[in-house]
Amino acid sequence: MSAERKSDVKDARKVIVDKIIEGLEKGEIPWKKPWKDRAFSGMPRNAVSGRPYHGMNVLLLMSAGRTDPRWCTYEAAKKSGWQVKSGERATPIVRCSQVTKTKMVKEKETDPETGEIREKEVEKKVSYWMFKLWKVFNAEQLDGIPSLTVEEERQIRPTDDDVKNKISEVLSRIPGVSLHFGGNEAYYSSKGDFIRLPEASQFEDQAGLLGVFAHEATHATGVESRLDREEFRKYHGSLEERAREELVAEIGSALLCGELGVPDDIDRNVGYIGSWIKQLKDDPRSLFIAVAKAEKAVDLLQGRLDLNEERQARKCREKPLASAEALPSLSSLQEEEVLLPSLADLPRASAENLASDPSL
DSSP assignment letter at 270: G
As to burial, measured by CB atoms within 10 angstroms (0-12 exposed, 13-18 middle, 19+ buried), residue 283 is exposed
pLDDT of residue 164: 84
For residues 35 and 98, the answer to whether their CB atoms sit within 8 Å is no
In contact, 74 and 43? CB cutoff 8 Å: no
Q: Which residue has the higher pLDDT, 263 or 211?
A: 211
Contacts of 166 (CB under 8 A, 6+ apart): 158, 210, 260, 262
| CB < 8 Å & 24+ apart, contacts of 82-85 | 82/142, 82/143, 82/144, 82/145, 83/142, 83/143, 83/144, 84/137, 84/141, 84/142, 84/143, 85/141, 85/142, 85/143
pLDDT exceeds 70 at position 4: no
Task: Quote the CA–CA distance of 347 and 291 in Å, as a whole number.
Answer: 10
Q: Name the pTM for this structure.
A: 0.72
Residues 52 and 304: beta-carbon distance below 8 Å: no
Contact 51, 360 (CB under 8 A): yes
Q: Does residue 21 contact residue 48 with C-beta atoms inside 8 Å?
A: no
Give the model's confidence band at 271: pLDDT under 50 very low, under 70 low, under 90 confident, else very high. Answer: confident
Mean pLDDT value across residues 313-342: 37
Q: pLDDT, tens digit, for every residue of 175-196?
A: 999 999 999 999 999 999 999 9
The listed range with the strongest mean pLDDT (43-52, 112-121, 261-270) is 43-52
Q: Domain containing 104: what range?
A: 3-356
Higher pLDDT, 326 or 193: 193
Give every CB contact of residue 1 below 8 A, 6+ residues apart in sequence: 9, 333, 334, 336, 337
How many structural domains are present in the chain? 1
CA trace torsion 43, 44, 49, 50 (10° rounding): 20
